[in-house]
Structures are given as C-alpha cells and as structure tokens.
Amino acid sequence: MRVLLTGAGGMLGTAIAGSWAERAGGHELVPVTRDRVDLRDPAAVRALLEAERPDVVIHAAARVGGIADKLDHPASYLLDNVAIDSAVIGGSIATGVPRLLYVSSAAGYPEDAAQPIGEDALLTGPLEPANEPYGLAKLLGARLTAFASREHGLAYRTVVPSNLYGPGESYGERSAHLIASALRKVHAAHVAGAASVEVWGDGTARREFTFSRDLADWLVASLGDLDDWPASLNVGAGDDRTVREYYEIASAIVGYTGGLAFDPGKPAGVPRRLLDSSAARALGWHPRTSIEAGMRVTYARYLDTITEAS
C-alpha cells in the first residue's frame, strides 16, 4: 500500500509519520509538506498525485491557528482551506485515487449542538462565529468526500477529531491552540516571576483534547478498514475539562505558583464542545494517554524548541 500524507509537517502529520515508521511494515508513506507543493494550486496537486499514484491519501493539511488569528483573517482562512481541500480531494477524484481519509474539525458542528455532539448534528444549525470561516471550509471538505463516494463509488471518508495536542504543536502567540498556549504562557510567567497569567474568557468553557499520537496510531492501524467506516466519524478522548483546569495542569507541570487572571471581555468560543465518539469506539478506538501525561510530553517538546531556537 502506498499512502500519500498531506500536512506531513504539522502536529497530526508528524505523529502519523512517526506511527507509520513503527507500524507500517512494507507499506510506503509519501509525506508532503508545503515546501514540496502549494496545495492551493490544483495543477500542482494533480501533477503530484499523477507522479506518486497513491493507493490512499490521508489529507491532514489545513491552514490552522489560534482564535485571535482566525478573527483577524476570516476571509483568508476560508479561501485557503477551501482551495486546499478542493485541490486535494478534487485531484484525488480526477486521478482515480480509490481511498481518501479527510481530517475535518469539530468546528464544522453547530454552535448550539447538543452535547456530546453526534455525527448527525452536521448542518443542523449555524456555526460558532469566531470559528465560522474555518468551520465552513472543513464542513465543505467533509461533504465533498461524502459526495465523491456517492457519485464515484470511492472509499472517501472523513474523521472529525476533537481538539488535538502533542509534540509538533505551534507555540506562536497567535497560532497556538489552548494547551500549547497555556504551556507557553505559564512557562513565560514562571521564568519572569510574574504574579499571574492572562487567560481569555472566564475559564469556564469546556474543551475535549486528544493526544495526537493516540489518534495517529489508530488511523494508521485502521487505514485498511476505510471501506467499512461511515461517511463521517468522530474521534475524541471522551471527556472534557474547563479552560481553568487546563491552565492549572499547565501550572503544575511547569512548577508555576502564580495566579490566573481571567478576561471575560475576550472571546472564549462555545461554552462546551464534546464529541460523541461511540461509533469510533465500536470500530476499536481507545485513547491511551491521560491529559496530564500528554501535556508533560508536550511541555518537554516545547522546552526542546526553545533550546533549538537559542
């Protein structure tokens, strides 16, 4: 089996490549990063697919970032992600790739979806405004995979992970997601001896996070079963915590003894987002890494990035 992986330089892509190296045996992985091809360019993507002739495409590439960056660049997030997905999924259809796994996002679910969120909640209501451009693009990609399967008889499936974290995270001030941002900010406060760490929102919003390597290991092991999957499949850790709790865990890991200064005037997103992953569990999904253990690994990698940059 020859598998082409887009987004190979990202957090999930890096985890998939690492898992592949340990598990895939004689199968071949073709990692694709932005340095090799601009995935927004349909002609370049089609040329790549024609040259590599993969049996499966794992499409994990996307323009991602923190909530502040999404608020500042909504048109760019929508345009870039629609262009990427159209080129990759459309190119896969045109070149006859028989199987494709599209990595979508829970941001494609309605803002007021009942918790935990089942796959049938798609298209039942408006999206969260702060994440709407990104969510719309990921929703479009998920529907495109379903339509491709229906029209062309292909095994194109969508996986909808919860929020992910782990080595390979972006720790930039505007690009980091919650856990990476919490670890970076708490570390900076600890080093500076600051009395408190600023946290957007009031700390009560609840989020579900899954360790990226857990998801990667399961996806690599499950690629041969895509034909048996439903069109869209939620995959999450199965529990959630408040923003305050994630910052408290980060503080304990870093050794920071200062306080948390919440700013309710800043956007914090939906009050809760927890996925119903029962269908994935029936297919063998069982996350292994506790949030405390995973955050320790993530923090250790963050310290490595600081050392490498110095």
Asked if 280 contacts 233 with a C-beta cutoff of 8 angstroms, the reply is: yes
Residue 183: in which H helix or E strand, if any? Answer: helix 178-192
Q: Which of 12, 30, 33 is nearest to 105 (CA)?
A: 12
Asked if 29 contacts 5 with a C-beta cutoff of 8 angstroms, the reply is: yes
Distance (Å, rounded) from C-alpha 155 to C-alpha 134? 25
Asked if 38 contacts 66 with a C-beta cutoff of 8 angstroms, the reply is: no
Mode of pairing for the β-strands spanning 99-103 and 196-200: unpaired
CA angle 166, 225, 58 (to 5 degrees): 45
Distance (Å, rounded) from C-alpha 287 to C-alpha 218? 9
By CB atoms closer than 10 A (0-12, 13-18, 19+), residue 60 is buried
Q: What does residue 30 show for φ and ψ, rounded to 5 degrees?
A: -110, 95
Q: Where are the alpha helices (DSSP H) in 53-192?
A: 67-72, 74-94, 132-152, 178-192
Distance (Å, rounded) from C-alpha 247 to C-alpha 253? 10
Asked if 134 is an active-site residue, the reply is yes
Query: HSE of 37 in the Cβ direction (CA atoms, 13 Å)?
Result: 25
Distance (Å, rounded) from C-alpha 214 to C-alpha 22? 13
State the first-to-last Cα distance of the chain, in angstroms, to the nearest integer.
Answer: 41
Dihedral over Cα of 158, 160, 164, 169: its sign: positive
Active-site choice (77, 102, 109, 134): 134
The catalytic site residues sit at 134
